């Protein structure tokens, strides 16, 4: 896994969020430098855990989709004549009544 790096704008938003969290939930405020160091610590320490979980979730999703390829992509074979019969029946319903063996003659 390569090093996780946040774009500068995302990093600035994360630092602002950390500062706001400290302001609202802890007795001591935190400055930009300390918030940035804390963010870097969490990215380095916890980032791989989140990354690995995301990879595992993606693998599971892909495996489920691959296991259901038949259901997802299966094409019924030899369907020309059944479709033609359905089209004929839809466009000329009286023909099926004429040809039907159970209709009284």
**Residues counted in the chain:** 105
Q: Tell me the HSE value of 37 on the side-chain side, using a 13 A CA sphere.
A: 4
Residue 99 has pLDDT above 80, yes or no: no
Tokens of 37: 């160091």
Q: Give me the pLDDT at residue 8, please.
A: 96
pLDDT interval class at 84 (50, 70, 90): very high
The residue with greater pLDDT, 75 or 7, is 7
Q: Environment class of residue 91 by beta-carbon count within 10 Å: exposed (0-12), middle (13-18) or buried (19+)?
A: exposed
Give mean pLDDT, residues 11-28.
Answer: 96
pLDDT interval class at 98 (50, 70, 90): low
pLDDT interval class at 11 (50, 70, 90): very high
């Amino acid at each position: 896994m390569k090093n996780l790096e946040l774009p500068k704008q995302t990093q600035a938003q994360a630092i602002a969020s950390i500062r706001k969290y400290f302001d609202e939930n802890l007795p001591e405020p935190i400055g930009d430098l300390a918030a940035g160091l804390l963010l870097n610590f969490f990215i380095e320490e916890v980032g791989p855990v989140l990354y690995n979980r995301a990879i595992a979730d993606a693998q599971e999703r892909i495996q489920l989709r691959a296991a259901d390829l038949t259901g997802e992509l299966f094409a019924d074979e030899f369907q020309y004549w059944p479709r033609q019969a359905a089209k004929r029946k839809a466009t000329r319903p009286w023909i099926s009544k004429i040809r039907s063996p159970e209709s009284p003659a």
